[in-house]
Amino acid sequence: MIYSRNRRLRVNESMRGLVRECSLSVNDFVMPIFVMEGENKEEAIASMPGIFRRSIDLTVKECKELFSLGVKAVNLYMKVSDHLKDNTGKEAWNKDGLMQNTIKAIKDAIPEMIIMPDVALDPYSIYGHDGIIENGKIINDATNDALAKMAVSHAEAGADIVAPSDMMDGRVSTIREALEESGFHDVGILSYAAKYASSFYGPFRSALDSAPKDDMEIPKDKKTYQMDFHNSREALNEVFKDVEEGADIIMIKPGLPYLDIVAKVREVIDLPIAVYNVSGEYAMLKAAAQNGWLDNDKAIIESLTCFKRAGADMIFTYAAKEAAILLNR
């Protein structure tokens, strides 16, 4: 005779809901947004169905809609004109730059929207790398100084949390020190602590034209600073260092192929954990759904719930708006 029957707690939706271990909410989402120069301009990103590059005015309009749906945080990326790119990234801390003006416009229109601008040099680099290059190598400490200038300029524009995604050693402490010295004690740092050199970033790099350039004199990829996808213990080392340096939130990137990393980090730190449901993951789901191989709505909710089950507190996802609409139903 069977006395213990697990199926008793799966008998109907009410019972399943009663014993459910985690739940997904619109409060969990951060929407990545691509911004371009111009006015009343919108360009579809072919590899990411439903995602666009927009001018500042249309970006503000989109943010208002997101906020009305309950998505209260955005992560900003700029499509920088080629003539503004160089090897120093100095346009990244231009007080009247595209990023800075975007932050100001969103804050003016929606003061309660949490703005998390990306802190990295690759959109501003003629080489498409996250760092300054000297003698064919990415220079760590000079890059950190540039990132600190960039972060302070974001804070001056009204950013709530700066999000360094570069993976330079020591950049969290450099940025924290710069923010403190500039009086921005309440501006947080979301550190991409465990960011892997992944093949799942392709659509994103197309959206920003930020892939490393094919030049024999520079590294052809980002493997000298982003993590080796074969490693997991290394992720804990990276996380612990960023926590010590003053990070307020820890990011794991990519998402779905790295749920084991999310779970491992969750076991050892108490800080909030973010996970990035990256462009390649989004593109794969959309392609399968468009071909009728997956149920789009069910697959979105299931894949986002996986991040919460693994231990993430917040999810950066291009499906944030779509998922919010589904959950609000």
Active-site residue list: 195, 253
Q: Is the peptide bond before 254 cis (omega within 30 degrees of 0)?
A: yes
> DSSP 3-state assignment of 269?
coil
If phi > 0 it is left, if psi is from -120 to 50 it is alpha, else beta; for residue 231 that is beta
Structure tokens at 132: 């300054």
Find all residues with CB under 8 Å of 13, minimum gap 6, and list them.
Answer: none
Q: How far apart are CA 277 and CA 168, in angstroms?
A: 22
Under DSSP, the state recorded for 201 is G
> Which DSSP string corresponds to 112-128?
TSEEEEEE-SGGGBTT-
Check if the beta carbon of residue 175 is closer than 8 Å to that of residue 147.
Answer: yes
What is the bridge-based pairing of β-strands 249-253 and 273-277?
parallel
Burial class (CB in 10 A: 0-12, 13-18, 19+), 199: exposed
Q: How far apart are CA 321 and CA 71, in angstroms?
A: 7
In sequence order, the β-bridge partners of residue 317 are 277
> Which DSSP string corresponds to 10-70?
GSSHHHHHHT-S----GGGEEEEEEE-SSSS-EEE-TTSTT-EEE-HHHHHHHHHHHHHHT
Under DSSP, the state recorded for 213 is P
Q: How far apart are CA 258 and CA 277, in angstroms?
A: 10
Q: How far apart are CA 74 and CA 317, in angstroms?
A: 10
In sequence order, the β-bridge partners of residue 250 are 191, 273
Q: What are phi and psi of 125, to 5 degrees?
A: -95, 135
